[in-house]
Amino acid sequence: MKLLHTAVAGIIAAACTSGASAQAYPNKPVRLIVPYAAGGGVDILGRIVAAKLTESLGVQVIVDNRAGGGTIIGTEAVAKAAPDGYTLLFSNAALTASPALNEKLPFDPVKSFAPVAMVAGSYNVLIVHPSLPVKTVKEMVALAKSKPGQLNYASGGVGSAIHLAMELFASRANIDLVHIPYKGAGPALTDVLGGQVLTMFATPLPAMPYIKTGRLRPLGVSSLKRLAFLPDVPTIAESGYPGFEVNNWYGVLAPAGTPRELVTRLNTTVNALLAMPDVKERIAGIGADVEPGTPEQFAGRVSKEVASWTQVLGKRRKPTQ
């Protein structure tokens, strides 16, 4: 009987401790790991969220760029972190494609994380360096077919959203392109600007200033409808590839096992900041739209896209690195 009382007391104490910890959260800085280099779309959005979370939570939310390994390095760090709400992941659709691109992963996109909150969704623009003698998607495809395996393209890393967009485009257009992966969209864009690499799919915000000045030439966008801030740029779909669409999500995830009350609190906090006019304006400024929702909705999207990319990419494993 004494042992039973001791066991019950232990369970109650553990529950009280857990509840007290949740109520005290957060009482120290929170790390928001971005598995990309600084300067790309994921990093820019992550910093917007981190700044507002710092205000809302009352502690410093520090952006920690952990680029490399096609987002695996930073993502693994979160998967293996303590599920206490102090280490979070800010990622994108690349997470859901990782199983289709890697034979072995140190994490499971579905089982290793507790999706917290969707933040935004966006589309990409296909850009080329002005030295490339093409002005339309059709002309680019024709050039690529005349020089198979000679036209290179940049991405933010193997499995990044802009890599996946180009892979899907190359597959639909039946062209052979050479993939040059970087540790983030920022460094990739820098080399396209310099002409070391000739083309890429880019997130709108970092590319727009150079599009406006003519240092980059836009050929098409990955949405089904033209984008309001690029009204003269046709969609890939209307350029000869009906139905072509690549939508990228951005969101916050925690390690699996994070207490439900912490996930709920963080979800409520993120959704509240997404309703702020200045946040909406800043996110719209990078060509994205806020997409608030529940953890369950986010988890459902992750599971669905893992299955979808596995089907689309088939047996392709680790493309040119």
Higher pLDDT, 33 or 168: 33
pLDDT at position 308, please? 79
CB 46 within 8 Å of CB 63: yes
Higher pLDDT, 168 or 120: 120
For the chain, state the CA radius of gyration: 21
Average pLDDT over residues 184-189: 88
3-state secondary structure of 140: helix
> In whole numbers, what is the pLDDT of the chain averaged over residues?
88
296 pLDDT above the threshold of 60: yes
Residues facing residue 178 across a β-bridge: 152
How far is residue 214 from each of residues 39, 207, 281, measured CA to CA in Å? 20, 11, 25
Condensed to tens digits (0 to 9), the pLDDT of residues 74-96 reads 999 999 999 999 999 999 988 99
d(CA 288, CA 250): 10
d(CA 58, CA 262): 15
pLDDT above 90: percentage of residues in the chain: 67
- CB 24: neighbour CB atoms within 10 A? 9
CB 83 within 8 Å of CB 256: yes
pLDDT at position 11, please? 42
Condensed to tens digits (0 to 9), the pLDDT of residues 231-272 reads 999 999 999 999 998 888 999 999 999 999 999 999 999 999
Higher pLDDT, 142 or 171: 142
Task: Output the DSSP codes for 59-77.
Answer: S-EEEEE---TTTHHHHHH
20 pLDDT above the threshold of 90: no
d(CA 48, CA 114): 21
pLDDT above 70: percentage of residues in the chain: 90
3-state secondary structure of 35: coil
d(CA 266, CA 233): 38
Higher pLDDT, 152 or 308: 152
Specify the amino acid at residue 180: I
Lowest mean pLDDT among 52-61, 279-288, 312-321: 312-321
- CB 129: neighbour CB atoms within 10 A? 18
CATH numbers and ranges of domains, the chain: 25-121+248-313 (3.40.190.150), 125-239 (3.40.190.10)
178 pLDDT above the threshold of 50: yes
